[in-house]
Chain A
Amino acid sequence: AQSVTQLDSHVSVSEGTPVLLRCNYSSSYSPSLFWYVQHPNKGLQLLLKYTSAATLVKGINGFEAEFKKSETSFHLTKPSAHMSDAAEYFCVVSDLDRWAGNMLTFGGGTRLMVKP
């Protein structure tokens, strides 16, 4: 079984300061890991994904995440927050080795607030 825990339900940063959104996962197989962003009343947009290649993954809008197998973590970072980054962020795991479905399992979400 796979699961995801997002360690903070809310994170507040000032514009121009670093962002850290924390995620721990559990998976029985070799996982694929994703971060999605959801702006109010919008669908989900893929920020980045890890699929067993490089452990440091670069995504869109300056975000990146590091896969640490020993810590079962996949934290999302950005060096400098922008007002437009304010949104809900979801960490997602999917088991790679299971053919039948590869469903996505979402964490509970972290709401990022950016103060001017």
Chain B
Amino acid sequence: DAGVTQSPTHLIKTRGQQVTLRCSPKSGHDTVSWYQQALGQGPQFIFQYYEEEERQRGNFPDRFSGHQFPNYSSELNVNALLLGDSALYLCASSLNNYGYTFGSGTRLTVV
């Protein structure tokens, strides 16, 4: 049984560019949450998607946006990249907030 799959695993972008990260949830899960983990810190909640809508959002600017597709997979988009956006981006899926499973993350480096 596949867990949460994130792609790509690593990514290098230049300041000002845009990036799209992808997440396939664990089979049977309908809710996807995204977290940003800066080096040496705990993950911070970006937003959560349920039934293809953003249900809750953390304290992140609107440069961060997302989408959930009918098959429950999700994308995280970040526009106008800043050096401070360099981090590990984690996707977590759940069945309506019960039993979170995390992916291994996408390491984004902005240069």
- Which positions in A face B, CB cutoff 8 Å? 4, 36, 42-46, 90, 94, 100-109
Contact = CB atoms under 8 A, between A and B. Distances in A.
A11 to B, nearest CB: 16
Interface stretch (B13-21, B62-70, B75-83, B97-105): B97-105
A45 B45 CA distance: 17
Contacts of B55: 100-101
A102 B97 contact: yes
B28 to A, nearest CB: 17
Contact of A106 (B44, B48, B103, B104): B44
B41 A104 contact: no
Contacts, number: 48
B90 A104 contact: no
23 contacts: A42-B104, A43-B90, A43-B104, A44-B43, A44-B102, A46-B100, A90-B43, A101-B55, A102-B56, A103-B48, A103-B56, A103-B58, A104-B33, A104-B35, A104-B43, A104-B92, A106-B35, A106-B42, A106-B44, A108-B41, A109-B40, A109-B41, A109-B42
Contact of A103 (B33, B41, B103): B33
Contacts of B33: 103-104
Interface residues of B, number: 21
Interface of B: 4, 33, 35, 40-45, 48, 55-56, 58, 90, 92, 97, 100, 102-105
Contacts of B40: 109
Interface centre among A36, A102, A106, by most B CB within 10 Å?
Answer: A102
Contacts of B103: 43
A108 B102 CA distance: 18
